[in-house]
Amino acid sequence: MCLGNIQKIVCAVLLAVIITAAPVAWATDAAQYIIGPEDVLEVNVWDNRDLSGRVTVSLDGYVDYQFIGRVRAAGLTVDELAARLVALFADGYIINPQITVQVAEYRSRKVHVVGEATRPGTYFLTRAMTIVEVVSLAGGPTAKADNEVTIVRDGADPETIVVDLEKALQGDTTQNVSIQSGDSIYLSKARTFFIMGEVNRPGQYTLEKGMTVRRAISVASGNTEKAALNRVTIIRREGDADVEMEVDMQDAVMPADTIVVPQSYF
């Protein structure tokens, strides 16, 4: 069940991703897919059942075959590997060989989705994919997820990328970044604040970016007629102690703050 703005948007995206995930829809991309270690390939050698079947690319990028031995597969497209096998088998082993290669299991390009995703875990990139598509494959964010998603990219030049998932889901291409093999995607829990006293709906709420005291009261359905808005305070954790401080309507609200809207004396 989708909850909140970001969950409602991701429901529609999930359907689109599921539809485009069909093998037929990826047929064009599959021909251009670059084979990598641990990919499982379906090789069909026409009129030669013994040489047909599934083979797994070794960690060093090779597949093993009768007669022709080890063949480099990593770094090639399926069509390029098929052409290489044709040339090797034609060299004294099979007359006019006809060979096709398909990817049976995409295993070489992994990404990790952790945190507040519906189905956190390891996923495989079968083509060029964006943050929206990968998070959608993981079932989308939970109702407790924050809008900000962190992508940790390892490599020679490690990089940390922070994107606004809600904006990406709404079509902002600057936020819908491309995902690379080896990326770790962290969906953090949304930051919250508490509000109590003379508001119509006291309770716990998600902290929006740049939220002010005035906005927080509005999120809690506004103040009651008895509210003393000139005496609003915030209880904030500082070190090992809770500190209560007077604030005005334009002051910023921080994570885990408790806003207290007192009753008027009159």
Supply the mean pLDDT for the chain. 87
pLDDT of residue 188: 92
Looking at the DSSP bridge assignments, the partners of residue 112 are: 122, 184
Question: Token digits for 139?
Answer: 């079932």
pLDDT at 266 over 70: no
Contact 247, 257 (CB under 8 A): no
pLDDT of residue 203: 96
pLDDT of residue 5: 55
Strands in the chain per DSSP E? 40-45, 53-56, 62-65, 69-72, 99-105, 110-115, 121-124, 129-130, 145-153, 159-164, 178-179, 184-189, 192-197, 203-206, 233-238, 241-246, 258-261
Contact 148, 188 (CB under 8 A): yes
Higher pLDDT among residues 3 and 213, named by residue: 213
Across residues 134-150, what is the average pLDDT? 92
Q: How far is the C-alpha of 235 from the C-alpha of 257, rounded, in Å?
A: 6
Question: Token digits for 233?
Answer: 């305070």
Which domains does the chain possess? 4-20+108-189 (3.10.560.10), 34-105 (3.30.1950.10), 192-261 (3.10.560.10)
pLDDT at 65 over 50: yes
Which tens digit of pLDDT belongs to each residue from 85-136?
A: 999 999 988 899 999 999 999 999 899 999 999 999 999 988 889 999 999 9
Q: How far is the C-alpha of 145 from the C-alpha of 215, rounded, in Å?
A: 21
Across residues 35-50, what is the average pLDDT? 92
67 pLDDT band, cuts 50/70/90, is: confident
pTM, to two decimals: 0.67
Tell me how far the alpha carbon of residue 82 is from its chain's centroid: 33
Contacts 24+ apart (CB under 8 A), 120-128: 120/187, 125/179, 125/181, 126/26, 126/29, 126/30, 126/33, 127/26, 127/29, 127/30, 127/33, 128/29, 128/178
Q: Which residues contact 62 (CB under 8 A, 6 or more apart)?
A: 70, 71, 72, 73, 74
Across residues 173-188, what is the average pLDDT? 93
Across residues 206-234, what is the average pLDDT? 95
Across residues 158-171, what is the average pLDDT? 91
